[in-house]
Structure 1
Amino acid sequence: MSLVPLLTFVLFTAFVGFISYLKSRDEDLSHSTGYFLAGRSLSWYVIAGSLFLTNISAEQLTGLNGNAFSFGASVMAWETTSVITLIVLAVFFLPRYLKSGVTTVPQFLEERYGTGMRRVSSFIFLYALIIGFLPFVLYAGAITLGKLFDVSGLLGVSESSALWIMIVSLGVIGGCYAVFGGLKAVAVSDSINGVGLVVGGLIIPVLALIKLGGGDMGSGWSILVNEAPERMRAAGVDPDMGIPWHTLFTGMILINLFYWCTNQAIVQRALAAKTLAEGQKGVLGAAFLKLIGVSMLVLPGIVAWHMHQKGIIDVPVKSVGEDGSVVFHHDMAYPLLVREVLPAWLTGFFGAVMFGAILSSFNSGVNSMSTLFSLDIYKGMIRKDASDEQTVRAGKIFGSILIVVCIIIAPVISQADGLYTFMRTIMAVINVPILTVILFGVISKRGPALCGYIGLPFGMAFFAFANFYLENDFGVFKWHWLHSVGLNFVLMMLVMTIVRYLKPMPEPYVQKESGEVEIRNWRYLGLASGVAVVLLVALYVVFSDIGILNT
């Protein structure tokens, strides 16, 4: 590898770090509001960029493009349904969070159900971050950057050694951002890298189409829509295309509701808004970015499939079944595509923004872990009289320890069949149960804490049993795992409704206003939401048999 990619990588990374330092150096990081919520000072564009980049990281670029390599455009549902759930966050959840002035989602649960539920949910969120999120970010980032810069060949080590080197490097550097810089440094670096990632991410499919078309982008596009049009169909009407269309209305929308509306690592950015209106603008800005994200997260995977068929890239075989069926290591498709199409002078820049995106997701998760532990466990359970300085210090120590744990766990993920789907099923054990308990607490004013204490373990146990033991085969029928998520939601709501009517609260729950921020809706909230929905529908129409696939 020449020095040009490494030089551009170092320069852009150093630039982001320097700007983040300048923007956050005056922040009071000794107190919890300054460290965990950036002093409630984030503007809408910082929130939008941070939300987008926290979500769009290596596990998304590598994992979702890998799924697109195997199944085609139907996997874009993970992105497109996010638009709806971000609207729900802006309209329904965010006003309630900011009205209460909470720092964590478990705090909101405490206000509604009591201290016990806050503690239980804090441990569950920590499990989700430690087991179901951060190791995936490290692993995906390691294989993506490792292939992009050919770390194995550069250092003269084995692929497994290169994987470990990259995982440790990403974990240590990302942890330093989160542990020593607080949320402000994380959010600022997110915004800068977000611009770079959008630019770099959009360049990849353009260069890939040119490569596929033998130097002509139009010819490359023609190959996509004519040689295998079923792979460009947005709605999963073909049974072997990964995400059946009907799952969008059951488990898919529920999982994304959890992710965007109740996931601490995501919601924390919106909780740091100056005002409700500023937070709503940021959330809807992220929704529009998600529509653009399809071209970065799905299209390259489809192009990679065609390039593999034509021998332009060689995606390695992962396993061969007893019946002779071949399973490709599809998580390698995107990094191999990027390495093939990017010129040397752009490789360093793209590697830098990818590095920033990986750090964004990782350090955002570490910051959220520290927040949960410090405020909900350390100050809430271990040392209730702890000062702000002691609380922040405890969070930093805990975050540092958990970084080591995540580094150790990350390489194990290589044994899974598919990075993205595996991550989603692991998270589904806790995500919809948490969402359902929060949602029930908001819509049922007389639902007692007992609803949560019964509903939460019931929901976690049911999905784990249905998906991992029964493998979604109920004897008389077998369906997609996302339908089991939807069934779990229905059963949980039924169980909690029964408890509510058997043991109703004597007085209805009334939410109190903290006065932390100004609670006034953005004047264009309805218009912006409507435009986002129209664009979403148009996207599905365009990539359908009545759109560009009408041959």
Structure 2
Amino acid sequence: MIKNIDIVISVLYILFIVTVGLWAGLKKSKVGAKTESGDYFLAGKTLKWPMIGLALFATNISCLHLVSLAQSGFDSGLLNGNFEWMAVFTLILLALFFVPFYLQSNVATLPDFLEKRYNRACRDWLAIISIVSAIVIHIAFSFLAGGIVLKTIFGVNMYVSVFVIAVLTSIYTIIGGLRAVVVTESIQTIVLLAGAIIITVICFQKTGGWHSFTQTLSDTHNLDKLSMIRPVGDASGLSWQSVFLGYPVLGIWYWCADQTIVQRVLGAKDVNHGRAGALFCGVIKFFPVFIFVLPGLMAFVLNKRGVFDISSIQHLDNTGRTVTETKGIYTLMIAQLVPTGLVGVLAAALLSGLMSQISGALNSIATLASYDLYKRFKPATTDAQLVKMGRISAVLALIISIALLPLLNQYESLFSGINDIIAHMAPPITTVFVLGIFWKKASAKSAQYTLWFGSLLGAVVFAINKLMPDVAISKVPFMMMAFYLCCACVFMQVVLSYVFPVKHTAESATLYWKSPLEPLQGKAWRGLGNYKLQSALLIVLMVVLYFIFK
């Protein structure tokens, strides 16, 4: 049971974050923002690279990641760390190819960008899909993970704890806008990383060091759990083929075309700050494998040695077989391995991840609902009305996300559940963005129909997987399914681009690269701040890491 000192630490942390968020949000920008809505939704376009990088990471890493990545480490080893390391490549793509167009076209949202490159129908569809994905993926799943953890640590009913966190996070997010989100996310990233490092160090010490740790894996015939690259046909469904073909489909949507993530870049002071911020996040993405996934694997080793008890998360199923609910592994690690006082710090870290994910998603939903939906039907709306509508939509999003919790709780693995949904939703969006900026002939009508029919195809396949699990298509790993769906969408858009030839406007004619080398010709900072040098170093480091953990 959690001690009073740990409760005090957690409560003080929450009050601190709410206070800082309100202060940052209510403090008006002195430069950059020309309108109230610009200040609220995009922080007056004054964000610099360190804050952008930290905010990108904080919006991505949530309580869900701490819980589910530790669970995956216990179950399958470092394998799911591929989702972290492969993200580095997509962040490089964001920095090199996407950021310049987003900032130079002066858009407030990514649907706004699609309208400039294609047409209004594309904007409308992406706005709706982006709002739905933010509610389900970024908020509801985070609430679910947070509710499970807080119930175990504090003994509070899951829905009560979720409601309290929702109210507290919404106070500074809805009132303060993007500046409040980014400032608090920067703080929360540091706290989250500190908490994760603490439990990693504790687990590492208890295993007796790296040699002793790997020896236990070898003695128990589990040394393959250290491998990031698995053979084709691996039972996990995450073979090297699935990872290297399927992840880019998910990753490009998530890191380059999802409003919740990219909004931090849209508030950048200039292109170089936007690029450097994305690449800085890429640097931070090296660490989750070692401080989120590896502790779960260390818990597995400690359990094999008999010094980590998982009986409290085990039960007998209808056949009398022992089933382990590994969703609770991270909480169990905190309860059994962390001393009093530090439990409060770890709880604060979990709250950091939960609050930062929710705050980022709420601000993005507010921006999308105001700019892309409300303003379309009421083009003469004032800035004050836009901000008001954004706040109302954020409140509605909170209510809907809480209502979805019982449905999403049916997934055995939260991390697999969230990626399963993305795998069926991302392909058409990834397709129209990639072809839009790299292919001159990608037409508006082709993008519009690809978004419509590609989304329908993904929904049908997802329904078949859930309703008819014995059908052959249901046995395809979700990462490979994402790749196949993307291939279908690419074929669809290419064919339709010839059926409905492109008719560029003066603006759309400037929103695609004339050659693959063109993005490397932009102005760059000198020395280590040069985005081309940073990208090259990141790629080299990735290759080395994959060679070590192959």
Q: Residue 57 of structure 2 aligns with which residue?
A: 52
In the other structure, the counterpart of 1:530 is 536
Q: Deviations over 1:187-231 (max 9, x none)?
A: 111111111211221121221122344xx6763454346542111
| The one of 176, 182, 198 aligned to 1:181 | 176
User: Out of 147, 150, 154, which is 1:150 matched to?
Assistant: 154
Give the aligned partner of residue 486 of structure 2.
489
Give 2:216's aligned residue.
223
Structure 2: state its 5+ residue gaps.
513-521
Per-residue deviation, 1:378: 0.6
Q: Where does residue 517 of structure 2 map in the other structure?
A: none
TM-score (norm 1): 0.89
Amino acid in structure 1 at the alignment position of 2:414:
L
1:69 matched to which residue of 2? 74
Q: How far does residue 412 in structure 1 lie from its aligned partner after superposition?
A: 3.0
Cα pair distance change 1:476/1:264, threshold 3 Å = closer
| 1:87-98 matches, cutoff 5 A | 87-98=92-103
The code of the aligned residue for 1:151 comes to G
Give the drift of 1:507: 4.4
Identity of aligned residues (%): 28
With structure 2 as the length reference, what TM-score do the two structures score? 0.90
CA contact (8 A) 1:473 1:479 kept: no
Aligned to 1:104: 109
- The 1:472/1:41 distance shift into structure 2, 3 A limit, reads farther
Tell me if 1:233 matches 2:227: yes
- Pair 206,394 (structure 1): closer, same or farther in 2 beyond 3 Å: same
Q: Please say if 1:502 is aligned against 2:503.
A: no
CA shift digits 1:9-61 (9 cap, x unpaired)? 23333333344444443226971111111111111111111111111111111
**Separation in structure 2 between the aligned mates of residue 476 and residue 134 of structure 1, nearest angstrom:** 29
Which deviates further from its counterpart, 352-361 or 445-454? 445-454
SS in 1 for 2:540: helix
- Give 1:119-518 correspondences, 5 Å limit: 119-147=124-152, 149-152=153-156, 162-213=157-208, 219-220=212-213, 222-224=215-217, 227=220, 228-237=222-231, 239-311=234-306, 312-314=308-310, 316-317=313-314, 320=317, 327-381=323-377, 383-469=378-464, 475=472, 478-507=475-504, 509-511=508-510
Partner residue in 2 for 1:157: none
Tell me, in whole angstroms, the C-alpha distance in 2 between the residues paired with 1:24 and 1:463: 39
Structure 2 CA distance, aligned partners of 1:231 and 1:273?
Answer: 40
Structure 1 residues 383-422: Cα deviation after superposition (integer angstroms, max 9, x where no partner): 2211000010011011112211111212432221211111
Say how many residue pairs are matched.
525
Distance 2:473 2:386 in 1: 53
Partner SS, residue 269 of structure 1: helix
Distance 1:476 1:331 in 2: 28
> Is the Cα contact below 8 Å between 2:122 and 2:451 reproduced in 1?
no
Partner residue, 1:113: 118
Change beyond 3 A, Cα 1:526–1:266: same
Classify 1:442/1:203 alpha carbon distance in 2 versus 1 (closer, same or farther; 3 Å).
same
Give the Cα separation in 2 of the matches to 1:113 and 1:467: 28
Render the CA deviation track for 1:300-331: whole Å, top value 9, x for unaligned: 22122233334412162477486x76543221
User: Aligned-pair distance for 1:98?
Assistant: 0.6
- AA matched with 1:11: L
Cα distance in 1 between the residues matched to 2:237 and 2:503 = 48
Give 2:155's aligned amino acid: V
CA distance in 2 between partners of 1:384 and 1:334 (Å): 49
Residues 52 and 182 in structure 2, CA contact (< 8 A), matched pair in contact too: yes
Please give the alpha-carbon distance, in whole angstroms, between the structure 1 residues aligned to 2:186 and 2:267: 15
Note if contact 1:139-1:410 (Cα within 8 Å) is conserved in structure 2. yes
Partner secondary structure for residue 364 of structure 1: helix
Whole-angstrom distance in 2 between the partners of 1:437 and 1:483: 19
Q: Provide the C-alpha distance between the structure 2 equivalents of 1:467 and 1:136, rounded to a whole number of angstroms.
A: 18
| Alignment partners' CA distance in 2, 1:269 and 1:334 | 29
Q: Aligned to 2:275, what secondary structure does the other structure show?
A: helix
Q: For residue 28 of structure 2, what is the aligned residue in structure 1?
A: 27
Q: Which moved more, 1:88-97 or 1:171-180?
A: 171-180
Secondary structure at the aligned position of 1:206 is classed as helix
Rounded to whole Å, the distance in 2 between the matches of 1:521 and 1:115 is: 33
The CA distance in 2 between the partners of 1:510 and 1:332, in whole Å, is 52
Q: Measure, in 1, the Cα distance between the counterparts of 2:471 and 2:370.
A: 42
- In 2, are the aligned partners of 1:90 and 1:280 still within 8 Å (CA)? yes
Q: Distance in 2 between matches of 1:44 and 1:226?
A: 46
Shift in CA distance, 133/507, structure 1 to aligned 2, threshold 3 Å = closer
Q: What is the CA distance between 1:259 and its match in structure 2?
A: 0.6
Return closer, same or farther for 1:133/1:23 CA change in 2, 3 Å cut-off: closer
Other-structure match for 1:159: none
CA distance in 2, matches of 1:481, 1:169: 34
Shift of 1:472: 8.7
Secondary structure of 1:445's partner? coil
**2:87 corresponds to 1:82:** yes
2:374 and 2:544 mapped to 1: Cα distance?
48
Q: Counterpart of 2:11?
A: 10
C-alpha distance in 1 between matches for 2:481 and 2:417? 15
Gaps of 5+ in 1: 153-161, 514-518, 545-551
C-alpha contact (below 8 Å) 1:64/1:297 kept by paired residues: yes
Give the Cα separation in 2 of the matches to 1:500 and 1:326: 55
Taking the aligned partners of 1:526 and 1:39, their CA distance within structure 2 comes to 27
The 3-state SS of whatever aligns with 2:107 is coil
* Distance across 2 between alignment mates of 1:196 and 1:113: 42
